[in-house]
Structure 1
Amino acid sequence: MSGLPATPASSVPVLALGDVLLVTLQGELHDATAEQLQDHISHRIAHHPVPVGGVVIDISGVEIVDSFLGRILAEIAANARLLATRTVVAGMRPAVAITLVELGLTLPGLVTALDVDRALSLLGRGPGSAAPAHPEGDA
């Protein structure tokens, strides 16, 4: 159903790339779907066959982030941190960043990266792996 508004969380893919979970958000994500996705990610972290080393949430396909979705992203990061997993949000558009600042959302605990490759590097996976530029809790 490409091009259509949000669908149930089960259709938002949460792909396992080794010990990293990759979530790609496309288009508008309705509130109920965002909450279901939050629960789904926590469940996947807790029940993954190997300890999850990180979660990458690619929002490059999201044009608008409201205060609710911003809060959900922060809560996903907080839940993951409680489960000993780091979260990196990748692909934030400049307009989304400006909106989050205007809304006063600081997104504590979230590390950001320009793209998925850099997000994987921040998690110590992939070429050019490096320590995070912004340690968790400094956001």
Structure 2
Amino acid sequence: MQAVTQNEILLLLVIASSLLCLVCLGFIFALSKKVQQQNNEHGKLLQHMKRENEQVAILRSEIAEVRASVLSIGKRLVACENYAKDLAQQQAAQKYDDPDAKIYSRAVKMVELGADIEEIMRECELPRAEAELLMSLHNKQS
């Protein structure tokens, strides 16, 4: 067999190390490409999350506006209910303060209870025409 010279061994070592470097560079290139793809995917995901966060912030502000509107409407509704109660109380008080209203309220009650015209005229001091009118109105409603 032929003896291998030192130069040949060195040459083989250089070739082998060059091949090894090329293989390593290939792995490094493949890994860098994969890392770049993952970075792109992460970037897209971050952009998507940023848009979603902006939408959530918009929705939160809209909900806050709706909540404020509902509270305002609720306050107005309470004020209207109180006003309606006050009006009803004033109306009821006026009904009892007016002597004529008392007479007619009493006459209507008597008609509802079945009193005749003469009794209504006597008790409520109403003229015959008014007593007859109350009777005819009550009969139409019944």
Whether the TM-score (by the shorter chain) exceeds 0.5 is no
TM-score by length of 2: 0.20
Select the structure with the greater relative contact order (CA < 8 A; seq sep ≥ 6).
1
Which has more helix, going by share of residues? 2
So what's the TM-score if we normalise by structure 1? 0.20
Asked which structure has the greater CA Rg, the reply is 2
